[in-house]
A = this chain, B = another copy of it.
Amino acid sequence: MNLEVKIDELTLKNPVMPASGTFGFGLEFKDIFDLKNLGALVVKTITKNPRLGNRPPRVYEVSCGMINSIGLANPGWDYFREKILPQIKDLNDILILNIAGESVEEFEYLAREAQRFDEIKALELNVSCPNVSKGGIAFGTDLEALKQIVSSVRKIYSKTLIVKLTPNVTDITVYAKAAENAGADALTLINTFSGMVIDVKSKKPVLGNKHGGVSGPAIRPMAVKMVYDCFKAVSIPLIGVGGIDSKEAALEFFLAGATAIQVGSQNFVEPGFMPRLIRELGEYLREENIEGIAKLTGLAHRREENV
């Protein structure tokens, strides 16, 4: 039984990878499992300059999920390149660098840098973070900006280019098509939903930054629908993410049209979840006598026609 999947030119030994920002740089998880088990390693978003991130509190629980306003806290590209990249480059064969910029130029700068490092196998453009005031989600909801970023980076970056979209739009397929046309090799669907929690005692928003991004099982039905809709709209591979906390949840994404999946918030609740999921997916294929996980991609569409 075969867990291998292909994203553009990359062959992942299995379709399971961490969602950016929920796995640090992987180092925190080394005690729990061997990161070589993962299909790929996706790091926390890196920006050109270091970012402190938003003021705390930055995380809070919500019904069946959590809300965060980390605000892309990260040590910046130079520090990452010098101090972190050497530590993590051998943790997994496929290292995916997630980047964000406050301007097209910053995206270009980072793409140019990433292009130089063989150990970086793919870029994931975060045009969808709801927690930064400049850039962030604004790029992800502004169709023209999205096209410009993707096509500019495409010109510079010749390896696998993944674009991560925000769900906070009227019709995500429009953005998916735009990213595809601008040269994306794959899409990650989705980032967090914009939300807010108000503390009844203090009568103020709980988060220091007032609003944040909602993740976890609460957003899964929306994420699945977006993968399903985009599967019909584009022909590049989709990486599904949003509330995956079980084998069944992961399978929903494959059936909806995902080629691979990312695990986010569940990593906090169960740091050993990803290796368990990989094992369970393998068992599932065996039990169901399905030759490869890739056979599941988009199956919910085909079944429909026979109803």
Enumerate chain A interface residues (CB-CB to B < 8 A).
Answer: 62-65, 67, 141, 168-171, 193-198, 200, 202-205, 210-211, 214, 216-222, 224-225, 228, 243, 248, 251-252, 255-256, 296, 299-300, 303-304, 307
Contact partner of A203 (CB less than 8 A), chosen from B194, B195, B299, is: B299
Instruction: Give the 6 A-B CB pairs with smallest separation, nearest first.
Output: A195-B221, A63-B217, A64-B64, A218-B218, A196-B225, A63-B64
User: Does A65 contact B218, Cβ atoms closer than 8 Å?
Assistant: yes
**Cβ of A210 and Cβ of B304 under 8 Å apart?**
yes
Task: Select from chain B the residue with minimum beta-carbon distance to A140.
Answer: B170
Q: Is the CB of B200 within 8 A of A221?
A: no
In the complex, A303 Cα to B199 Cα: how many Å? 12
Could you tell me if A195 and B225 are in contact, using CB atoms closer than 8 angstroms? Answer: yes
**Contact between B64 and A205 (Cβ–Cβ < 8 Å)?**
no
If A63-B243, A203-B255, A252-B198 touch, whether A193 touches B214 (CB-CB below 8 Å) is no
Query: Are A300's CB and B204's CB within 8 A?
Result: yes
20 A-B pairs in the complex with CB atoms less than 8 angstroms apart = A62-B217, A63-B64, A63-B216, A63-B218, A63-B220, A64-B65, A67-B221, A193-B221, A194-B222, A195-B225, A196-B221, A196-B224, A196-B256, A198-B224, A198-B255, A203-B299, A203-B303, A205-B304, A210-B304, A211-B228
- Chain B residues whose C-beta falls within 8 Å of the C-beta of A248 in the assembled complex: 200
Cα distance A67–B218 when bound, in Å? 12
- B170–A195 contact, CB under 8 A? no
In the complex, what residues of B have CB within 8 A of residue A243's CB?
Answer: 63
Q: Which of A67, A169, A222 has the most CB of B within 10 A?
A: A222
Kindly list chain B residues whose C-beta atoms are within 8 Å of the C-beta of A225.
194-196, 211
